[in-house]
Structure 1
Amino acid sequence: MQADLNERTTPDAGSLSQWAVSAANDRAWDEAASRWALVRKLYPQHAPGWVQGAIAERELKNYAQSEALLEHAKQAFPGNPNVLLQWAELHIVEQQADLALEKLRTVVDAFPDDMAGYARLTDVLATLGRFDEAAKVNQRVRELFPDRPRGWQQYAELAMQQERWAEALTRWSMMRERFANHAAGYMRAAVAAENLGDRRLAKTLRLAREYGNAWLESTLGGDSRATAHRVNPPQRRGMLQFIELVWTKARLNLKSEANQNYLRYLWWIIDPLLYMAVFYVVFGLLLNRGGDNFVVYLLSGLVPFQWFAKTVQLASGSIIAGSGLMHQVRISPMFFPLVMIVQTAGKQLLVFGMLFLFLMLYGLYPGWHWVGLVPVIVTQLILTVVVSAAVAMIIPFARDIANLIPTGLQFVMFMSAVFYNTDIVPDRWRTVFFLNPMATLLEQYRVVLLDQQWPVWSSLGWVMLGSGLTLLVLLAAYRRLAPIYPRVVLE
């Protein structure tokens, strides 16, 4: 920029100040001092050139130069309280507490409508151990600026500095009543609770930073502390932000999973191929089941079912696995199973692609009836969401159920006609058999892919209707249980 000054018109004071501020932000104090000197040279009536230049010199330990700049600024800008404030900071660095207090009291007297002087005076008095004086100044701050959080935060911090932990808790509660979204009202209160030996309350307050009143009440129950330390929930995320977050997390999980393997993304193809090969060898070759088209029949059922089973298996423990993130940010517990669902759905696209290629090699070419796969796949996706979310919702409360998931999925697989024809099911049992929605869906896949017909819309519709209604119930349940999960996953 200095070269530009010789070649073009001089930049305005604002542009030069931003140039100097950027150096200060990088803590390049030599460069910042040089740039502020240029600002003073070109714009001697621009107050930041003197005040901010004094700060840069102070950081460089050029105390005499810093004081000289502030002395000039005091004469040139008598209406600027920041001059005296920074002069007080210089005295503090030089360990001249009395001079610092003198400057700060001058700020308070000369600029009674400026809160910064009162607040800094309170801090310095407290640092010197003069808590009674600090309390009086702080009371004045809260009276003059009741809608500003700094005074109330200082009020609680004064009790913390004196190790009056119970009183500090009460004061942090007062702050939360006025500034519900201010982090200190929760996190610093948790420190006070820990010093009182109440670890449960400390944990509760930290979680309440994200989960609000419902979390406190569900945790403390009828305890009077639930009222004394009542908090209000922060604003919730929008639906679009939530969807974007799910998508981003799933995408990053897929990338991380691929990077852990030498063959990277190839495993997304190899794994399902090996899985399908095992069933083909056992049922198609060793047991000689089916016939010439058995491999087509097997794969058209196995691929969709594998998608369902893997998703449910991964999602089942997702809420417990996400406990760390749950305690850091306010987020619906539904987020965790949804990430697993999106993650497995992304990998499944490749598997479906392989299945379609395999069918074409067998002479089953796509036609208009393949469009019927879209509602079949969408219906399975909704069903998968429902089952995965339901299992994930229950397991934190009854963790032993996680041990039954593999056995349960295996039972559903045998009851879904993955590797046998539904014609062998006796007529008197067919209605009961097709109450299993996965059996109905696999039947529809085969109607489209093997029989080259449109799916049976009535059968598909019943599965869609049941899944949709159940999903609405689950969403309501998740909303109700959201404040409870952070406590449950820690037990």
Structure 2
Amino acid sequence: MSENSAFKIDHDLLLKPNDAAQWARDAMAARRWELAARRWATLRAAYPDYPPVWIQGAIAHRHRGRHLEAETLLEEARRRFADHPGGWVQGARTALAAGDLKKAEELLEVARARFPDKAPVWLCSSDLAWAQGNVDIALEHNQYARSRFPDDPGGHSQYAEMAMKSGDWETARERWTEVRALFPDWPAGYRRAAEAEENLGRSREARRLRLAEAHGAEWLEELESEEAKPISPPQRRDWRNFVDLVWTKARLNLKSEANRNHLRYMWWILDPLLYMAVFYVVFGLLLQRGGEGFVAYLLTGLVPFQWFSKTLNQTATSIVAGKGLMHKVRISPLFFPLVGIVQNSGKQLLVFAMLGIFLVLYGLPPTIHWLALLPIVLVQILLMVVVCCLVAMVIPFIRDLSNLVPTGIQFVMFASGIFYTVDRIPTQWQTLFFSNPVANLLYQYRQVLVENQWPEWRMLSWLTLGLLVGLGVVLWMYRRLEPVFPRVVIE
């Protein structure tokens, strides 16, 4: 099916123009300009009265070097949408890119008269004056943009760019610092500042800024708020620095995740409460199946399994997702899955607390056997380290395996005895059943929490020994493949 026909289906479903435009914006975000131009052409046929289909289409053509096609679209945009500044501003930028400074000036004179309250008009005027060699006029237009539109990062960013163009790296560094203070989420404030630092010979500071760009402003704020030595990927193999780096990144991820929600950290409590409430209502009240105590039996299996499944889902493609950072700083690929494991483990503490409260209310109060939860949890963490790091290591080489991860998790769920008791399995198959490490762990959890007994230490010991051997193999493979990953992840 062609892209046009695929889009027609969406149009028939009455997509809003802005939602449909995301189809073309995705291509622009990937810098696939030819594809973007084709998609905008399709959207123009569907939504001819929507200004971006003309203006953004022209931008795509300009990036392809097709200035004539771009100007044709912009002339039509100016005719159709006389009250939209984009036709004039992008027309001037297209003329500027084509070297026609006179036409760019004519368009901007009209734009300044008609749209004096639009920041892009003054920013483009400043760029044109700079291209003409009129530095004072360029600074005047930029100063107006910064004072008239203080909440727009464009003016402040352009001011720093002027210092970059002049080669005044120290001034550029100071101006980018101001940009970051005003607009901590503006990516250029970190990326371009890192380039200024490199030109000043401050490679260490440049590395910190690139880390902040990749992982958020909170990373840099954390480093600057502490008097300790800034955390950076170690140039030598120091496991203490590496552990500290993983811990810091996981902690900042948790803070960032909480800040994205209105209820912040409350979601970490509500999520497990709602999860357990659903199964209690369905199995305990509505179906009333499984007999007495089945809800407790079910939840003591589901909660640890959810920890395993969520962690594996998050870390499976973590190395591929971290390719940008991997090409900026020297860092072990092991860093990426470990961050996901630590991050999910932090949230799991609250989930286990909610499970404990539920069991008490359900009539299963704590006993001395609950002390055995600590070694069981540690073994589960070891299991997740081995499995998640192994899967994350393989996927960059065989990308299609990422599509099988959810299916594999579902298979493990049904093969681990979450919804049925061990006595339902024939005796001759129980050895094979417990060879599944997840089934082994869930059995140990239930021995402690539901049966009020000590875990089967012999089974747990054999599992731990096997996982330690697996961990050694995984670490050895990461050490051998570390130089290969930066090349593989971009293929």
The alignment's TM-score, normalised by the length of structure 1, stands at 0.51
| 1:417 matches 2:422 | no
Spell out, residue by residue over 1:310-369, the C-alpha distance to the aligned partner (whole angstroms, 9 max, x if none): 111101011011111111111110000000000000000000011111111123222221
**Alignment partners' CA distance in 1, 2:400 and 2:481:** 20
Residue 157 of structure 2 corresponds to: none
Matching of residues 5-404 of structure 1 within 5 Å: 235-404=235-404
Give 1:282 shift: 4.3
**Alignment partners' CA distance in 1, 2:395 and 2:266:** 32
**Alignment partners' CA distance in 2, 1:235 and 1:310:** 32
Change (3 A) 1:284 1:424: farther
**Alignment partners' CA distance in 1, 2:269 and 2:261:** 13
Aligned residue for 1:366, secondary structure, equals coil
**Alignment partners' CA distance in 2, 1:237 and 1:430:** 44
**Alignment partners' CA distance in 2, 1:283 and 1:403:** 31
Give 1:448 shift: 0.7
Change (3 A) 1:278 1:366: closer
Whether contact under 8 Å (1:276, 1:302) holds in the other structure is no
Quick check: which has more Rg, 1 or 2? 1
Change (3 A) 1:378 1:261: same
What amino acid does structure 1 have at the position aligned with 2:463?
V
| 1:431 matches 2:399 | no
Give 1:456 shift: 0.7
**Alignment partners' CA distance in 1, 2:284 and 2:488:** 47
Aligned residue for 2:451, secondary structure, equals coil
Give 1:277 shift: 3.6
Residue 31 of structure 1 corresponds to: none
Give 1:479 shift: 0.6
Higher relative contact order (CA 8 A, sep 6+): 1
Spell out, residue by residue over 1:225-258, the C-alpha distance to the aligned partner (whole angstroms, 9 max, x if none): xxxxxxxxx9414110000000000000000001
Change (3 A) 1:410 1:287: farther
Percent identity of paired positions between Structure 1 and Structure 2: 64
Give 1:280 shift: 4.0
What amino acid does structure 1 have at the position aligned with 2:258?
A
What amino acid does structure 1 have at the position aligned with 2:384?
T
Residue 456 of structure 1 corresponds to: 456
Whether contact under 8 Å (2:272, 2:354) holds in the other structure is no
Structure 1 residue runs of 4 or more that deviate by more than 6 Å after TM superposition: none
| 1:483 matches 2:478 | no
Change (3 A) 1:284 1:429: farther
The alignment's TM-score, normalised by the length of structure 2, stands at 0.51
What amino acid does structure 1 have at the position aligned with 2:275?
Y
Whether contact under 8 Å (2:273, 2:354) holds in the other structure is no
Aligned residue for 1:364, secondary structure, equals coil
Residue 42 of structure 1 corresponds to: none
Matched pairs, number: 264
**Alignment partners' CA distance in 2, 1:235 and 1:339:** 19
Gaps of 5+ in 2: 1-197, 200-233
Q: Root-mean-square deviation (CA), in Å?
A: 2.3
**Alignment partners' CA distance in 2, 1:278 and 1:444:** 24
**Alignment partners' CA distance in 2, 1:267 and 1:465:** 36
**Alignment partners' CA distance in 2, 1:278 and 1:357:** 16
Give 1:389 shift: 0.5
Whether contact under 8 Å (2:283, 2:295) holds in the other structure is no
Gaps of 5+ in 1: 1-182, 185-233
Spell out, residue by residue over 1:289-316, the C-alpha distance to the aligned partner (whole angstroms, 9 max, x if none): 2123111111111111111111111010
**Alignment partners' CA distance in 2, 1:400 and 1:344:** 25
